[in-house]
Structure 1
């Protein structure tokens, strides 16, 4: 990917998307897009998705921000891993590639977990957090039949079942709700890819954000959809309670795929909160 030559502290000058792949030290290539002008914001999608999750948010957000989104390792247009990798290290590579010493991070689900872990590891590089339907490393999920089936499908590489459960559990509002067609397309395209990616993603032994949420100094917006899985609301409450400078918002008419279900409301919140 070509970038304009400027110091990391200079303001962004991208009026049209700069699109390409970023090389990682271990041989991977991450698809990324950069567009907009203003303070930098990096968008991180969830497992089984790709950066198309943000399609309806990027145009308005880019009017006031330097917006970067990328496909996580092995998903979307990024290359599949063939050796161990770290999602937090990939995020660092993206920031360094674009010459950004600091940025705000907006992460959904797995992307929120990555953003939290990165913030704890590199607090000086994060200006603000927006956690959307976020998971958090170290959280113990309750037992349930549907979640057990979901975990089993991931473990046993039953990709067709995994895609069906992804839609049933996390896209509960269905195909007729806003964004439904794109959600189904992303889930189908990434079901096999996510299994391969998760096999190679290395989670360090000390990666356990939940007991350390009180150490996060970055201002944090916590958002979840009214129709998301009930445990996401539990996690959201924990995040707001434990992160010192945080604020919580619940959005009606949205499930886990909130950026495609209610993009206008989410964008409004992001624009009002991000520096």
Structure 2
């Protein structure tokens, strides 16, 4: 384990922990207080949270990690499951339960995890989230996106990721980091997804009413329209869930609008 500090002087600890699917997951722990685990989306990595971790860590024990095969985590050597990886992260840090904040596919993982292990989740923050069981509408962009993944075309996949999900562009806040993160992870994502276990019977959408953890659903007003539709279903389906819309943000809210997002999360997790 390596220790250092972040911009606010809060001590941080980095570790490569054993992953259930083989290899190791890079994780970072910072701050003190009630535990919060941050989960990034597909094709991203934990740098997604760079702009909000320092403030969150003033109030919470914050853990973020790179999903299997992405960024500083090593590739899997057998089939792996994102839900099992999350459990391994909690176990490694000795946490029986934690709040989960997940963006996009990270939100889907958080939802599947809370349905499998409700006793291990104290609260949910779903940011531009998707959920298992959802059928995405077919259009030219989504078809091209699926084709790039199927054909293992990393350059096209990165280009589409940026045009569809980072629609505010490179000159908007966080744009350079978003572009670097997506480009650097595109080929790693394609390789890793070949080993990602698929569970066709998972259907969080049909089980939203089982979720008891306090839930906040957040999305940006410039995100893909389908994310807004999903947000409405999450708020309607999860008992007591609250929804919030953040202005001037596409899918990459933690880098586009870190201040408003952090404020909402701190209030929810207090």
TM-score normalised by structure 1 residue count: 0.94
> 1:221 aligned to 2:219?
no
> 1:257 aligned to 2:252?
yes
Cα offset for 1:28?
Answer: 1.7
Partner of 1:181: 176
Cα offset for 1:2?
Answer: 7.5
Counterpart selection for 1:44 from 39, 50, 65: 39
> 1:235 aligned to 2:201?
no
Partner of 1:200: 195
> 1:117 aligned to 2:112?
yes
- Whether the 8 Å CA contact 1:15–1:37 is kept in 2: the answer is no
Give the Cα separation in 2 of the matches to 1:243 and 1:42: 20
Counterpart selection for 1:71 from 66, 71, 74: 66
- Whether the 8 Å CA contact 1:20–1:32 is kept in 2: the answer is yes
Give the Cα separation in 1 of the matches to 2:87 and 2:2: 18
Partner of 1:157: 152
Cα offset for 1:197?
Answer: 1.4
> 1:274 aligned to 2:269?
yes
CA RMSD of aligned residues (A): 1.3
My pick for the range that moved more, 124-133 or 15-24, is: 15-24
Deviations 1:19-75 (A, max 9, x none): 010112442200000000110000000011000000000000000000000000001
User: In the TM superposition, what are the counterparts of 1:89-168 in structure 2 within 5 Å?
Assistant: 89-168=84-163
> 1:30 aligned to 2:14?
no
- Whether the 8 Å CA contact 1:18–1:34 is kept in 2: the answer is yes
What runs of 5+ residues in structure 2 fail to find an aligned partner?
4-8
Q: Which runs of 4+ in 1 moved over 3 A?
A: none
TM-score normalised by structure 2 residue count: 0.96
- Whether the 8 Å CA contact 1:81–1:196 is kept in 2: the answer is no
Give the Cα separation in 1 of the matches to 2:77 and 2:95: 28
